[in-house]
Amino acid sequence: MKYKNIPLNERIIFALDVNSLQKCEEWLDLLGPYINFFKVGLELFIAEGFKAVNAVTKRGHKVMVDLKIFDVPETVSSVILLLKERNVTFATVHGNDPILRAAVGVKSGIKILAVTVLTSFDEDDMKELGLTGTVEDLVFHRAKKAIALGCDGIVSSGLEAERLRNDLGNNFLVVTPGIRPGKNIEIPEDDQKRITTAQDAIINGADYVVVGRPIKMAKDPVSVVKSMQKEIEKGLMKK
């Protein structure tokens, strides 16, 4: 499998899962020299809105706005247009064909990532929702449809990435959350269930890994970033 030409300092997308602009800026100060891609998720966006997005882009960094946009198609189109005005690189969308089509239809200049199944879900959660089959099959089904509709990539765990690459090819992005370090870093009340290391995710076919708590909760966040980047380099060499 040929890997995409992505700079190493963009392979890790650091999740700015904080609730204030001040904390956001502190993490940008600390990690900016090592990471060039940051995620603004629901918590920070609700707290600070586009101020948080601007805080990232004004430094020259790339930003992934992870709102898992799910609404009527007209609203989805309007939201994507607003994100485009803010120099957003990735935006996540979730939903059925009309929702994904609405996002893709106005995407010029922004890459649309379709969310498949949250990494906090497993088969037990699917049964509770009345869904049959495996998580892997559901991820594959949603990914296949999203790519066919023109999405630039998908969000899935590293556990499903290998099948997606083998069966759907390399002409789309795989962005993988649920990353945990190879070395032991305790994460209290960890709600992620379908997890991999950064190296395994890359070997399986991921292009980017989204990492938050393993870096945030470390005594030395920068050392964890550097360690994960070394893992990623090793993973790329094995592909």
Could you give the residue numbers annotated as active site?
A: 68
Cβ-Cβ contacts under 8 Å for 186 (sequence gap 6 or more) = 217
Is residue 143 within 8 A of residue 94, CB to CB? The reply is: no
Cβ-Cβ contacts under 8 Å for 119 (sequence gap 6 or more) = 157, 177, 178, 192, 193, 194, 195
Q: How many CA atoms lie within 13 A of 183 on its CB side?
A: 10
Question: Is the C-alpha dihedral spanning 114, 56, 16, 3 positive or negative?
Answer: positive
Q: Which two tokens stand for residue 234?
A: 């090793």
**CA distance to 44, 66, 159, per residue, from 39 (Å):** 10, 7, 21
